[in-house]
Chains A and B, each alone.
Chain A
Amino acid sequence: MGKVEIDVAYVAHLARLELNDGEAEAFQGQLDGVLGHIAALGRLDLEGIEPTAHAAPIHNVFRADEPRESVPESDALANAPLAANGLFITPKIVE
């Protein structure tokens, strides 16, 4: 991990995040600084070290295939910015 520069525009597009005026420049400097700090991890020899994804080493946590009541339609759509005929409405999706 040498000197890294984050491509703010590309990453913002991936995150579907438009930036306000000036934010791109400010974030560029700040994030490059954070990545510079993170680069310290490059000093560690991690050969043969297993990654830790979960604090507790448990596996096979499942539920039985038992249906439960769904929520009423009024709840499902209660917070919708726009809804009609039981559907959530968005700007037209162009595939």
Chain B
Amino acid sequence: MSLPLESVAALRAQLRAGEIRPRDIVAAIRERVEAHNPALNAYVHTDWDAACAEADRADIALPLGGIPVAIKDVIAVRGQPCTCGSGILQGHRSIYDATVIRKLRGAGAIPAGRVNMDEFAMGSSNENSYYGPCRNPWDTSRAPGGSSGGSAAAVAGGLAVVALGSDTGGSIRQPASFCGCVGLKPTYGRVSRFGLVAFASSLDQIGPLAHNVEDAALILGAISGHDPSDCTSVDRPVPDFAASLEGGVKGLKFGVPKEYFIPGMDPAVERAVRGAIDHLAREGAEIIDISLPHTEYAIASYYIIAPAEASSNLARFDGVRYGHRAKDPADVIDCYARTRREGFGSEVKRRILLGTYVLSSGYYDAYYLRAQKVRTLIRRDFDRAFASCDAILTPTAPSPAFRLGEKLDDPISMYLGDVFTIAVNMAGTCGISVPCGFADEGGGRLPIGLQIIGRPFGESTILRAAHHYERTTPWHRERPPI
């Protein structure tokens, strides 16, 4: 039996009709994973028996009853490994559930399988993983994007119905763009971070990756809301996202920032995104030119704030209470230094060094404080823009998926690839990436993503716009050749 794994709504209809049971969905996913994971390396840990057992207990009357969700290896699920794609957490199993996991279960969903990622969510290619790179289902010689590469590849490759990812500077949206699926980064504070292993605490946010906008809205609805365990979660009502999808784009005003169409950008990306903008105009939306003048400073300030916070957040990985510990240490300092040398990969080390440096004595004002001020300017850019438009349209990434290894020795070029997504995190607002076309590359096709950026807590608007775009274009129905 072939199940409609690309749609939560379709699966739910079959479940409710009694045509299938939740464990059938888990079994179908398992079959796909066993067939294709060797090529994709999207999953790093699975426990199908446990997932089936949980499926048998699922209450299908609940909004996500019986739906398995792939979990990025950075979100804690009690009793399951949580390794953040790192050597330093090999063997570690969480002793508690993240709030999003409690909420997913409360909605009837089943956390099923842990998916690959760049180590501690640091990277844009999923190459910085202890488990080796995850691969793009459209072309396995290419990166799926990162850091939530495993989440995007699993969904796009049909190895998951939906997945959770995390986004600090584009880590949900860029892989969604590379793999041709939907990825949403919620407004900072919309979703609890309790149980998300912190990379950059003031920027991190958990969000869904899905085959379509409706599924993304369903998952977002399930995981959103105030959490007393996370001081940074915001206490405000959660709209019924799935119910607000209809309504079209007539009357919506979209801003197109000139700073997001830059020289050196891939022509196929520019063509596809311009085409999407024209399409929305034809559908009745108003398009205006806007400016986000501090865009060019977003990356520089991000690469101060994110590594600084990371250097402190990752200090706890020291081999004392959990995780890897170096053998036969001479003393405590030797134990720390070797444990961390052996446990962390190069990108993580680079960022710890950078973050430690910018916080070290005498540099705080010149770097961290300065970057926080630039953050204020970036937020003001968005505030000003949203005074004249409802949402902003940009490319998600300046290029389609690049080849594995292509940027590995050039961190700056890798960092610059996040140019269109980082400002959204710095401003703390929300953004979604939806497929908007393809680039022809060497005989194959590579997906391209359209980013729709919303006002803080304006997820309903961008979901509605994305849903209308999806419904009136064919892109999301395309399947990779695996």
Contacts and interface: CB of A to CB of B under 8 A. Distances in A.
Interface in A8-64: 8, 10-12, 14-20, 23, 27, 30-31, 33-35, 37-41, 44, 46, 49-56, 58, 61, 63
B372 A33 contact: no
A52 B311 CA distance: 19
A39 B286 CA distance: 38
A4 B336 CA distance: 28
Interface stretch (B91-99, B157-165, B172-180): B91-99
A91 B92 CA distance: 21
A51 B369 contact: yes
Interface in B342-367: 344, 346, 349-350, 352-354, 356-357, 360, 366-367
Q: Which of A10, A51, A52 has the most CB of B within 10 A?
A: A52
Given A40-B297, A41-B300, A79-B323, A90 B335 contact: yes
Interface residues of A, number: 53
B301 A49 contact: no
Main secondary structure of the interface of A (DSSP, over half): loop
A82 B346 contact: no
A18 B232 CA distance: 34
B72 interface: no
B257 interface: no
Given A41-B301, A49-B373, A90 B320 contact: yes
Determine the interface band of chain B, counting residues with CB < 8 A from chain A.
35 or more
Nearest to A46: B373
A67 B363 CA distance: 40
A85 B421 CA distance: 50
B337 A17 contact: yes
B401 to A, nearest CB: 23
Nearest to A72: B95
Interface string A75-95: 110111110000010111110
A55 B95 contact: no
Interface string B327-341: 001111111111011
A81 B323 contact: yes
A82 B373 contact: no
Nearest to B336: A16
Give the 3 A-B residue pairs with the shortest CB-CB distance, closest first: A55-B428, A51-B372, A79-B322
14 contacts: A11-B356, A16-B340, A20-B341, A27-B350, A38-B304, A41-B300, A46-B374, A49-B373, A50-B376, A56-B234, A61-B231, A63-B228, A91-B331, A92-B332
Interface of A: 1, 6-8, 10-12, 14-20, 23, 27, 30-31, 33-35, 37-41, 44, 46, 49-56, 58, 61, 63, 71, 75-76, 78-82, 88, 90-94
Interface of B: 91-93, 95-96, 187-189, 202, 228, 231-232, 234, 294, 296-297, 299-301, 303-304, 311, 315, 318-325, 329-338, 340-341, 344, 346, 349-350, 352-354, 356-357, 360, 366-367, 369-377, 379, 411-412, 415, 427-429, 456
